[in-house]
Amino acid sequence: MPTRAPLGADIVVIGGGPAGLHAAFYAAWRGLSVRVLEARSEPGGQLTALYPDKTVYDVPGVPQVRAGELVAALLRQLSPLDVELHTSEVARTLKPDGASGWVVETSQARYVAGAVILAAGMGALLPREVRIPGAAAHPDVRTDLPEPGEFGGRTVLVVGGVPQAARAALELAAAGAAVTLTHRRVGFRGDPQTLSSLETERRAGRVRVLAPATLQRLTPTGAELTADEQLIHVPADTVFVLNGYLPDLSPLLPWPLAWDGEYVPDGPGGRTALPGVYVVGDLARSGGDFKLLSVAFAQAAIAANHAARHVRPELKVRPGHSSERGGYPAKKA
Ligand SMILES: Cc1cc2nc3c(=O)[nH]c(=O)nc-3n(C[C@H](O)[C@H](O)[C@H](O)COP(=O)(O)OP(=O)(O)OC[C@H]3O[C@@H](n4cnc5c(N)ncnc54)[C@H](O)[C@@H]3O)c2cc1C
């Protein structure tokens, strides 16, 4: 239970996927302060967790873009604005706060805001459980992307074929770790540049790649793998098991949002059953069969402007045209 004083903002956005990031943009563009709470250690939602290496062709005005690059662009668009991103925080409770609107509590902090925008998609994208024999015996097994700088000089094993695994291996090697990357299949997923760098580092002997290989068990000092019918002991101070992410809606389901299965029903402007609480993106019932970025962005723009007016009744709902504004609003001190 967090004990620190609550952190205040005009608007709290729950979920740092594309819908949440664009909602944050629009609310901050209207001059409001915004905090985005994201369960994962990096923003981007499904785009960075599930398909950062894939090319998307149906974002309006962008003929083709890799999902990871689209997220980088969404973040660049936020950087001049009054938006704070809080990663590795799962929103767990939502309670009314008489004077201010709503209080959202995570395991780390309490956030008070005049309005809340729910952009939680399919749920918190949390790493899959580690199911490897001997995992409990190893002192340092992790399931999420590392802060590579912390691992310089350490011996590290990265397990997995997802794009995050290839990227983590390269970042850890660049930070001075002795890295082995292993996967049960021969190929790794990743954008072409990452895969080409991985091949360069492998050839140069700066990243050891064991694939295809079968991870038999973790031991207190590393792991035992079989490759080419040979048993290989790989020493490892730290083991990263990067096997992708599974959505978890359970923290939000007790919230009184008149749920329709895994959807939150939304009225005009993205309103939910709770005053001052809005819903956008894949979580919103109105999207239905159209779980698409273009739909999420449109819902985000509409709900953020309604939320802005809810918090600041002196504002018009209509944002006007950005092309007539001549620049970003100044950040508050
Ligand atoms: C493989 C794949 C390919 C796709 N390709 C396309 C495509 O080509 N074109 C297209 O238009 N769409 C595509 N989509 C769909 C698109 O990615 C989604 O419609 C979009 O990501 C929805 O955005 P969102 O922000 O609503 O949800 P999400 O992207 O799911 O983001 C929600 C975020 O909220 C966080 N969160 C959830 N609960 C909490 C909590 N309690 N506390 C804190 N954080 C929380 C999650 O961790 C997540 O980061 C694809 C989807 C997949 C899986």
Q: What is the pLDDT of residues 135-153, one digit of tens each?
A: 999 999 999 877 889 999 9
Q: Is 220 exposed, middle or buried (0-12, 13-18, 19+ CB in 10 A)?
A: exposed
Give me ligand 1 centre to Cα 311, in Å.
Answer: 26
Token reading at 147: 């802060």
Q: What does the pLDDT read at residue 331?
A: 74
From the CB of 279, is ligand 1 less than 6 Å away? no
Rounded-to-integer distance, Cα 247 and Cα 130, Å:
16
From the CB of 263, is ligand 1 less than 6 Å away? no
- Residue range 206-217: mean pLDDT, rounded: 97
For residue 281, the ligand 1 atom closest to its alpha carbon is 26
For residue 284, the ligand 1 atom closest to its alpha carbon is 26
Rounded-to-integer distance, Cα 15 and Cα 106, Å:
12
The larger pLDDT score, comparing residue 269 to residue 8, is at 269
Rounded-to-integer distance, Cα 264 and Cα 286, Å:
9
Q: What does the pLDDT read at residue 124?
A: 97
- The rounded percent of the chain whose pLDDT value lies above 70 is 98
From the CB of 50, is ligand 1 less than 6 Å away? yes
Paired sense of beta strands 110-118 and 101-106, if any: antiparallel
For domain 129-243, give its CATH number from 3.40.710.10, 3.50.50.60, 3.30.1490.190, 3.30.70.1900. Answer: 3.50.50.60
Rounded-to-integer distance, Cα 281 and Cα 99, Å:
28
Give me ligand 1 centre to Cα 50, in Å.
Answer: 9
Does 289 score more than 90 pLDDT? no
Give nearest CA residue, ligand 1 atom 13.
292
Token reading at 196: 């080409």
Domain spanning 7-126+246-324: CATH 3.30.360.10: no
Rounded-to-integer distance, Cα 292 and Cα 238, Å:
38
Give me ligand 1 centre to Cα 35, in Å.
Answer: 18
Q: Which residues is 105 bridged to in the sheet?
A: 93, 110
Does 120 score more than 70 pLDDT? yes
Token reading at 123: 């749920």
DSSP, collapsed to helix, strand or coil, labels residue 86 as: strand
From the CB of 74, is ligand 1 less than 6 Å away? no
**Per this entry, what is the length of the chain?**
333
From the CB of 281, is ligand 1 less than 6 Å away? yes
From the CB of 45, is ligand 1 less than 6 Å away? yes
Where are the domains positioned within the chain?
Answer: 7-126+246-324, 129-243
Rounded-to-integer distance, Cα 329 and Cα 32, Å:
10
Give me ligand 1 centre to Cα 269, in Å.
Answer: 20
Name which of 211, 172, 56, 37 is nearest 110 in CA terms. 37
Please indicate whether the domains covering 7-126+246-324 and 129-243 agree at the CATH topology level.
yes
pLDDT category at 99 given cuts 50, 70, 90 is confident
Give nearest CA residue, ligand 1 atom 8.
56
Rounded-to-integer distance, Cα 228 and Cα 330, Å:
60
Give me ligand 1 centre to Cα 282, in Å.
Answer: 7
Q: What does the pLDDT read at residue 7?
A: 81
- Tell which one of 37, 38, 46, 110 to mutate to probe ligand 1, the residue whose CB is within 8 A of the most ligand atoms: 46
Which residues neighbour 307 within 8 Å (Cβ) at sequence distance 6 or greater? Answer: 11, 23, 27, 115, 117, 270, 276, 278
* DSSP element (H, E) containing 293: helix 293-311
CA-to-CA separations, 212 to 6, 132, 188, 231, 274, in angstroms, rounded:
49, 17, 10, 13, 51
Does 2 score more than 60 pLDDT? no
Give me ligand 1 centre to Cα 203, in Å.
Answer: 36
From the CB of 195, is ligand 1 less than 6 Å away? no
Paired sense of beta strands 222-227 and 214-219, if any: antiparallel
Q: Which residues is 117 bridged to in the sheet?
A: 13, 278
Rounded-to-integer distance, Cα 271 and Cα 279, Å:
7
Give me ligand 1 centre to Cα 20, in Å.
Answer: 9
- Residue range 261-268: mean pLDDT, rounded: 96
Give me ligand 1 centre to Cα 120, in Å.
Answer: 8
Give how far the C-alpha of residue 303 lies from the chain's centroid of Cα atoms, to the nearest Å.
21
Q: Which residues is 157 bridged to in the sheet?
A: 180, 239
- Residue range 291-311: mean pLDDT, rounded: 97
Give me ligand 1 centre to Cα 241, in Å.
Answer: 22
